[in-house]
Amino acid sequence: MPHDEWANLNGLDFHYRDWDGSGQSIILLHGLASNCHIWDMVAPILARDFAVVAMDQRGHGESAKPDHGYDFDTVGNDLSALINHLGVVDPVVVGHSWGGDVALELAVAQPRLAKGLVFVDGGMINSSARYASLDDAREQMAPPDFKGWSVEEFSKRVREGHLGSLMTGQIEEIVLANFEVLADGTIRARLSRDNHIRIIEALWDHHPPELYPEVTCPLLVMPARQKSDPSTAEQREIREKSVATATASLPKGEVVWLEDSIHDVPLQRPELVASIIAQHIQSGFFD
């Protein structure tokens, strides 16, 4: 069982979950508008063989929520401060979605900090190449407005969405952890809309293809795709091109496609995600 901890980093209080374990240290990063609980099904599998910690990043989960510091330099410094606080040496940093982009920026800014990186359907957000303008990116990437929604209304929407066929009590709890439940029974996103927009603005100046050649540590890319679903064809083509760019640019990179997998693959296929990461650590890929 994990234990919840807090650390004061860069003058702010950060929450993280520690699954203990021993051996190679693994730091798990969630994506945009998510939280450390996205790893609640992957982490205990990894903790059988490794020392595992998952962090609530700035503005997310139970960590501090200032109205500043959502640029990659500051968010990366939060992560490096946690690593120093834990006394961890040579961690493998695993990022889901935007968490992969945070790990990418950190690996370039502080090349000696991480032993290796893993992108779980992440690390490739290139909004300035996808949208016509920053205003367009702000509009298209803005979060849904769930103000006034009850827990029951939101849970019903989740059950009708892409996680519906997978829904268990545990997954429902993980998804609801992205929200506070107010006294009147309605929900409020833990990542405020203003801070969400601040991260979108930081992503506008984030250009992964320019960063890949500068990554000196080994990088495992684990993109998800659904070849059998025609509705995902356009998105799949964009992702495949991004993966090809990364593969051609990374000094030491490997790609393992997560077939028949959705973006929230840590919830859909936790055993697969954990086993691929574990295999690459144990085989010496990151050495």
pLDDT of residue 169: 86
Report pLDDT for 20.
Answer: 87
Instruction: Give the Cα separation of 8 and 87 in Å (integer).
Output: 14
CATH fold of 3-129+191-282: Rossmann fold (3.40.50)
Predicted confidence at residue 165, as pLDDT, reads 75
Decide: helix, strand or coil at residue 161.
Answer: coil
Query: What percent of the chain is predicted at pLDDT more than 90?
Result: 88
When pLDDT is cut at 50, 70 and 90, the band that residue 231 belongs to is confident
Q: Is the pLDDT of residue 59 over 80?
A: yes
Average pLDDT, the chain: 95
Specify the pLDDT at position 160.
83
Is the confidence at residue 164, as pLDDT, over 90?
Answer: no
Beta-carbon contacts of residue 27 (< 8 Å; ≥ 6 apart): 53, 54, 55, 79, 82, 83, 88, 91, 92, 93, 94
pLDDT in tens, 72-114: 999 999 999 999 999 999 999 999 999 999 999 999 999 999 9
Please enumerate, as own/partner, the contacts of 10-15 that have beta carbons within 8 Å and a separation of 24 or more.
Answer: 10/74, 10/77, 10/78, 10/81, 12/58, 12/63, 12/64, 12/66, 12/78, 13/63, 13/64, 14/55, 14/56, 14/58, 14/63, 14/64, 14/78, 14/82, 15/55, 15/56, 15/61, 15/62, 15/63
CATH 3.40.50.1820 in the chain, residue ranges: 3-129+191-282
Average pLDDT estimate for 228-249:
88
Structure tokens of 176?
């609801």
Burial class (CB in 10 A: 0-12, 13-18, 19+), 67: exposed
CB 96 within 8 A of CB 262: no
**Residue 32: pLDDT over 90:** yes
Range with top average pLDDT, 29-38, 146-155, 227-236: 29-38
Q: How confident is the model at residue 163 (pLDDT cuts 50, 70, 90)?
A: confident
Q: What is the pLDDT of residues 172-223, one digit of tens each?
A: 999 999 999 999 999 999 999 999 999 999 999 999 999 999 999 999 999 9
**The three-state (H, E, C) secondary structure of 61-119, written as one string:** CCCCCCCCCCCHHHHHHHHHHHHHHHCCCCCEEEEECHHHHHHHHHHHHCCCCCCEEEE
